[in-house]
């Protein structure tokens, strides 16, 4: 059998899985070994990471040469064998890809988890841009089960710019299950949020939930002396982390990237944090945002840009002819903590950058989003289906919901293949939410009720007391999660599904 025939057969079976009837039909790794093109190999593994001088057991998603994640060249297929050596079951979501339903990397009734010790094959056409991969099971993402997924275009390669990829994280030495238990008070009414029948056990090593730990919470008791500000106005972060990481490192010992004097750099920034929105701070450098979530936008210049969980920004920076060392920082919203890397030209002295900024940052708001315009917007066409959903829930009890329903009791948004769909998300809860849709990218078409021809993205901030409207052509059949990308919000219920039915 030729590889082409194999591929056609595979795509046909993937399509039938997408018709929602049957079991997953992913091809086993062994069946692909006769192919002309060898699959790229990735493994999910445990690893020891030193954070601020202390060892921590975390996960990684790495190639055999220990490169974290994947970097694909123009025209290269997403042909991957993923081995699960994590010591527990998992599933890896290809965040930003728009593959057939069976290959999205989410477990549900139709798609099993990857068992510990098993492998899974993937074969689809990747979507260009800066994307990433992460666990979509339990709380594994909190233990750094995440990596870059970069798909270069021919234009990227022609451009005279050095590529620098930065994956941002928030980090805790605690067991993530303990962190969540500290927020929920030790009990979770609604399980792990993935509806796969396997979920709810966090990273797999947290059995008993400890007693409530108020030290993790921005409790009501902190609110004394805050003048007229309401609890809601202050509620930016649920968890106090031990560190913030840029490519696994803190500002105590940051990654220093060698760059050329007078050179150009394309920063591929990925907010892979579970519960932290960042302000990107380019310091002395002027930057130009050229892509959002991997999709080209009209250039937007500045030195400070907000970025919520799940989002990516591609920013071009020009280094001065005289050279120097230039920290690229990410500061947590509402806080002084920050992380980052350093761009340094040959011979430049790299000074120390404090892990705390001089002043706390404000919330990440819509100021960048309002300035973004897609280079390749949706066509004009009539709407086939329109939905309004409310983002609900709150801190006490710690349960986050959509239309007051946690995942499992959700009402799916059902559309037909080919329809133009719009979804307005109205935030009635006391926190902002980065909302991520699987299976297709969307255009941001309104913010707080004001229409715009915004960016094409897969993750959009819905601020407190605000709303965002997204629109897309539903062209990918399947049951696609639509959820908050704050992991702890998703884990307690803030997820629904877009069901795109194939009607042919
Ligand atoms: Cu949320």
Least confident segment among 108-112, 117-121, 134-138 = 108-112
User: How many angstroms separate the alpha carbon of residue 167 from the centre of ligand 1?
Assistant: 20
User: How many angstroms separate the alpha carbon of residue 492 from the centre of ligand 1?
Assistant: 10
Beta carbons within 8 Å of 53's beta carbon, 6+ residues apart: none
User: How many angstroms separate the alpha carbon of residue 192 from the centre of ligand 1?
Assistant: 15
pLDDT for position 238: 87
User: How many angstroms separate the alpha carbon of residue 434 from the centre of ligand 1?
Assistant: 6
pLDDT for position 188: 52
Q: Taking 80 as the threshold, does the pLDDT of residue 221 lie above it?
A: no
Mean pLDDT for 102-130 is: 96
Beta-carbon neighbour count of residue 370 at 10 Å?
Answer: 14
User: How many angstroms separate the alpha carbon of residue 121 from the centre of ligand 1?
Assistant: 31
CA-CA-CA-CA dihedral for 457, 289, 279, 358, to nearest 10:
180
- When computed from its CA atoms, the radius of gyration of the chain, rounded to whole angstroms, is 22
User: How many angstroms separate the alpha carbon of residue 365 from the centre of ligand 1?
Assistant: 14
User: How many angstroms separate the alpha carbon of residue 71 from the centre of ligand 1?
Assistant: 29
**Residue 377 CB-half CA count within 13 A:** 14
Give the domain ranges of the chain. Answer: 7-154, 243-364, 385-501
pLDDT band at 144 (very low <50, low <70, confident <90, very high): very high
User: How many angstroms separate the alpha carbon of residue 487 from the centre of ligand 1?
Assistant: 8
pLDDT digits (tens, 9 = 90+) for 275-308: 999 999 999 999 999 999 999 999 999 999 999 9
User: How many angstroms separate the alpha carbon of residue 403 from the centre of ligand 1?
Assistant: 13
pLDDT digits (tens, 9 = 90+) for 451-488: 999 999 999 999 999 999 999 999 999 999 999 999 99
* CATH T-level assignment (fold) for domain 243-364: Immunoglobulin-like (2.60.40)
Q: Which of 378, 380, 384, 383 is nearest to 501 (CA)?
A: 384
Buried b (16+ CB within 10 A) or exposed e, 277-311: bbbbbbbebebebbbbbbbbbeebeeeebbbbbbb
User: How many angstroms separate the alpha carbon of residue 350 from the centre of ligand 1?
Assistant: 37
Q: Taking 70 as the threshold, does the pLDDT of residue 194 lie above it?
A: no
Query: What CATH number is given for 385-501 in this structure?
Result: 2.60.40.420
Coil, strand, or helix at residue 17?
helix
pLDDT digits (tens, 9 = 90+) for 72-114: 999 999 999 999 999 999 999 999 999 999 999 999 988 999 9
User: How many angstroms separate the alpha carbon of residue 186 from the centre of ligand 1?
Assistant: 19
pLDDT for position 292: 98
Coil, strand, or helix at residue 226?
coil
The C-alpha atoms of residue 21 and residue 203 are separated, in whole angstroms, by 30
Q: Taking 50 as the threshold, does the pLDDT of residue 372 lie above it?
A: yes
User: How many angstroms separate the alpha carbon of residue 500 from the centre of ligand 1?
Assistant: 24
As assigned by CATH, the class of the 7-154 domain is: mainly beta
pLDDT for position 317: 98
pLDDT band at 233 (very low <50, low <70, confident <90, very high): very low
Give 478-491 as a DSSP string: EEEEEEESSHHHHH
- Ion ligand 1: residues, CB within 5 A, are 433, 484, 486, 489
**CA-to-CA dists, residue 434 to 243, 248, 446, 459, angstroms:** 21, 23, 15, 6
User: How many angstroms separate the alpha carbon of residue 309 from the centre of ligand 1?
Assistant: 10
């Amino acid at each position: 059998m030729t590889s082409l025939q194999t591929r056609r057969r595979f795509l046909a079976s993937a399509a039938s899985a997408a018709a929602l009837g049957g079991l997953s039909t992913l091809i086993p790794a062994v069946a692909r070994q006769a192919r002309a093109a060898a699959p790229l190999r990735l493994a999910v593994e445990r690893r020891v990471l030193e954070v601020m001088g202390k060892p921590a057991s975390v996960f990684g998603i790495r190639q055999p040469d220990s490169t974290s994640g994947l970097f694909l060249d123009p025209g290269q297929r997403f042909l991957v064998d993923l081995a699960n050596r994590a010591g527990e079951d998992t599933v890896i979501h290809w965040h930003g890809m728009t593959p057939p339903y069976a290959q999205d990397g989410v477990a549900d009734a139709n798609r099993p988890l990857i068992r510990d010790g098993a492998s899974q094959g993937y074969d689809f056409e990747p979507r260009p841009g800066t994307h990433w991969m992460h666990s979509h099971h339990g709380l594994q993402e909190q233990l750094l089960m995440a990596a870059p997924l970069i798909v270069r275009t021919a234009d990227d390669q022609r451009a005279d710019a050095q590529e620098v990829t930065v994956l941002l994280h928030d980090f805790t030495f605690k067991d993530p299950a303990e962190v969540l238990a500290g927020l929920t008070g030790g009990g979770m009414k609604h399980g792990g949020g993935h509806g796969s029948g396997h979920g709810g056990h966090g990273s797999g090593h947290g059995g008993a939930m400890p007693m409530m730990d108020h030290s993790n919470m921005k409790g009501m008791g902190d609110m004394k002396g805050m003048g007229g500000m309401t609890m809601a106005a202050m509620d930016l972060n649920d968890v106090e982390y031990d560190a913030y990481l840029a490519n696994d490192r803190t500002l105590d010992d940051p990654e220093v990237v060698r760059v050329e004097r007078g050179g150009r750099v394309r920063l591929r920034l990925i907010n892979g944090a579970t519960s932290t929105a960042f302000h990107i701070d380019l310091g002395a450098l002027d930057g130009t945002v050229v892509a959002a979530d991997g999709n080209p936008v009209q250039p937007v210049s500045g030195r400070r840009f907000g970025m919520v969980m799940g989002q990516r920004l591609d920013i071009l920076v020009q280094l001065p002819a005289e050279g120097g060392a230039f920290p690229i920082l990410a500061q947590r919203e509402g806080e002084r903590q920050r992380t980052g890397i350093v761009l340094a030209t040959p011979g430049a002295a790299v000074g120390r950058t404090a892990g705390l900024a001089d002043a706390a940052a404000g919330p990440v708001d819509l100021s960048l989003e309002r300035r973004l315009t897609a280079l390749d917007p949706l066509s004009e066409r009539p709407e086939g289906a329109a939905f309004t959903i409310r983002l609900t829930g709150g801190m006490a009890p710690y349960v986050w919901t959509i239309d007051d329903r946690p995942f499992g009791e959700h009402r799916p948004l059902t559309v037909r293949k080919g329809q133009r769909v719009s979804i307005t998300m109205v935030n009635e809860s006391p926190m902002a939410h980065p909302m991520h849709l699987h299976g297709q990218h969307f255009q941001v078409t309104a913010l707080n009720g004001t229409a715009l021809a915004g960016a094409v993205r897969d993750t959009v901030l819905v601020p407190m007391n605000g709303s965002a409207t997204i629109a897309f052509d539903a062209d990918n059949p399947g049951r696609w999660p639509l959820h908050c990308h704050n992991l702890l919000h998703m884990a307690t219920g803030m997820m629904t599904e877009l069901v795109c039915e194939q009607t042919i």
